[in-house]
A and B are shown apart, each in its own frame.
Chain A
Amino acid sequence: MSSMNETGLSELLHDATEDLPARDLVASAWAQGRVVRRRRRAGVVAGVVALVATAVAVPMVVAGGGSSGRPEPAPPAATSPSTEDEVGVATLPVWDPFTLADAPRGESVLPEVVAPPERLPPDVLDNPLPAAVLAWPEEGRDLMLLGTDGEWRCVPGTADAVTGTLDDVLRPSLSSDGHRVAMATNDGVLVVDVTEGTQQLLPWPDEIAAPSDTIPDVAWMPGEQTVLVHHWKGGWLLGLDGSAAPAPYDAAYPPPFVDPDGPVRQHLFDDRLLVEWDGDRRVDEVPTDWWGERYATRFGLVGFTGAVGGRRAGPVVVSADDARVVAYAPTRDRASVYSDNGYLSVIGFLDPSTALIKVAPMSFRTMDLGEETWHLVAWDFESGEFSTLTQGATGMRRISVAVDAVR
């Protein structure tokens, strides 16, 4: 290759890449960099305090790398070819949850930062709430409820209601209006009416009463008179009237999800079908070409964390009628942070164009577990805008939210 052809090679390399699509990677990079700087600074301050307190020279390690100016060797996660064009969503921008640091605040009854009180709040049985907007479980503490009036309450006697499992933390489920909260315990499903200060225990049917390694999740059926138990042996429906019956839904994962106003739906991944149930009848099924987990449904829509056509997981909204993708915000999802590791979930719909998302910007490469900040986010998927409703520390990962009480 002559020198003239070397010049030709240079021109060819430029020509071959000249029309690449323009991507805005800058804003999210600065936001993510700011998070890392803050964390390092917090680590340095904590280290200095520790040094002063102990007067002992201890080597200080700050997560995320040193200050040598050399780049860290850790590589980005593996990627695979994108086929997003196949489903017509190629033009969607990649959403980086780290940009939530600069997102506008959305309308909500929730405080800007939510954190349960250090001292146990008053008992909800003696001090009812107008409604609870979120339920906050913590290991070894009674379940705490945040009212729509901003007051905290506890559900007495629940600190040790789950024992002998691999993770002895309650998994509460608030009804969409925030009037009731249900939670699986060792003895059955405890249901508390937070507006009246009453409670009742729905005993376990014999079929699912045996001890389990994990306590099952529960969900409210429409009308808030029946609780759906997602037991690994199969679903059960427990009525507030004392009734108990096996649920007709498929026992496969992911479990069925309930529209507060209507049907129960389920995505049968192996069959690639989105199915709809009316009572114990399967009344509709439509083929799907996406995968997902952690589903919510309402307004004829289904929301979940998943991916459409390609590798990038993110929040997705599809039409319940035909499984057509309505909205999709792909993330980079390195190390499956937002998908398999659960740092992003669609937990409901605030209105027909706004999904409620629980998400924690996270990088396993630069952050330690527990360092993340969780956000409740309103995703206006018609405009593509994200606004934060509240944020909190790592314990917020386990909260249940009464979707209709948020605004």
Chain B
Amino acid sequence: MSVVGVDVGDEQAYTAWAAGCQQRLLRSALLLTGDLARAEDLVQEALVKVAVRWTRLRDGNPTAYARTVIHHDHVSWWRRHRRESPAPTRDRHDERPAHDTETERRMVVLTALARLTRAQRAVLVLRHFDDLSERETAEILGVSVGTVKSQNAAALARLRTGAPELLDLIGRIS
């Protein structure tokens, strides 16, 4: 059955794709924003935009498109709200006892990432969480590969000097 040019097979294919990647996108968006509610909004918006264009994206790389949407929308949001506090916020999952190491670890990570510039943070998340190449990262962010290299180096340097607690955690898991 066809509904405005999209058939049931498309819905099934979309559902399978989206169900497979939504959690990964959500984790990435949380690292990007530091706010779970905003991360959910970004992912939801990206999934809707992919759904709207599914017939054109299904044979391509919808995940890359979704990542691009998330980053572009985040930049737009950030430009409008940059005067607001950038501090990471506790999400629902953080309402657990302080000895919960996963929660503690997340707060340390988000606090450390909040010390980066928006561009540095985006590069760091795409390179080190999403495991994208420099070229893929550059395409999503709409910058040159050279910019990705320099932003990545600057981000690591800033974390090295400004986030010793992060180094401590990395030392624990390495």
Contacts and interface: CB of A to CB of B under 8 A. Distances in A.
Interface of A: 1, 4-23, 25-30, 32-34, 36-38, 41, 69, 71-82, 84-85, 90, 94, 311, 332, 334
30 contacts: A1-B157, A5-B174, A9-B159, A10-B128, A10-B131, A11-B173, A12-B105, A12-B169, A16-B102, A16-B108, A16-B110, A17-B129, A20-B93, A25-B22, A25-B43, A25-B44, A26-B18, A30-B18, A33-B47, A71-B49, A71-B68, A71-B69, A73-B72, A74-B73, A75-B73, A76-B38, A76-B41, A78-B77, A80-B37, A81-B35
B143 interface: no
Interface string B42-69: 1111111111111010000000010011
Contact of A26 (B15, B27, B54): B15
A4 B171 CA distance: 10
B105 A5 contact: no
A112 to B, nearest CB: 18
B48 A36 contact: yes
B92 interface: yes
B73 A76 contact: yes
A80 B89 CA distance: 9
B47 A29 contact: yes
A76 B160 CA distance: 33
B153 to A, nearest CB: 10
B67 to A, nearest CB: 10
A383 B50 CA distance: 31
A69 B38 CA distance: 24
B90 interface: yes
Given A20-B30, A20-B36, A71-B73, A15 B173 contact: yes
Given A13-B125, A34-B51, A81 B170 contact: no
Contacts of A77: 41
A84 B4 CA distance: 39
A102 to B, nearest CB: 10
Interface string B28-39: 001100011110
B156 A6 contact: yes
Given A75-B80, A332-B41, A19 B22 contact: no
Nearest to B39: A20
Contacts of A17: 27, 30-31, 106, 129
Contacts of B11: 30
A52 to B, nearest CB: 21
A334 B41 contact: yes
Interface of B: 3-6, 11, 14-15, 18-19, 22-23, 26-27, 30-31, 35-38, 40-54, 56, 65, 68-69, 72-74, 76-77, 80-81, 84, 89-93, 95, 102, 105-106, 108-110, 125, 128-129, 131, 156-157, 159-160, 166-167, 169-171, 173-174
A383 to B, nearest CB: 23
Contacts of A14: 27, 129
A94 B26 CA distance: 15
A6 B128 CA distance: 8
What are the 3 A-B residue pairs with the smallest beta carbon separation, nearest first? A33-B51, A29-B47, A75-B77
A20 B26 contact: yes
Contact of A23 (B40, B49, B53, B90): B40
B26 to A, nearest CB: 6
Consensus secondary structure, chain B interface: helix
A69 B26 contact: no
A16 B106 CA distance: 4
B41 A79 contact: yes
A82 B125 CA distance: 24
Given A13-B129, A73-B76, A21 B92 contact: yes
Given A6-B128, A13-B128, A37-B6, 4 more contacts: A29-B18, A69-B65, A77-B41, A78-B77
Contact of B6 (A13, A15, A34, A94): A34
A69 B48 contact: no
Contact of A8 (B73, B102, B173): B173
A23 B92 CA distance: 13
A84 to B, nearest CB: 6
A94 B43 CA distance: 14
A403 B95 CA distance: 41
A69 B53 contact: yes
A150 to B, nearest CB: 29
A36 B131 CA distance: 32
A105 B36 CA distance: 34
Contact of B44 (A13, A82, A311, A332): A332
Contacts of B125: 13
A37 B52 contact: yes
Contacts of A72: 49
Nearest to B84: A78
A26 B22 contact: yes
A199 to B, nearest CB: 47
Q: Counting chain A CB atoms within 10 Å of each CB, which of B37, B43, B74, B102 scores highest? A: B37
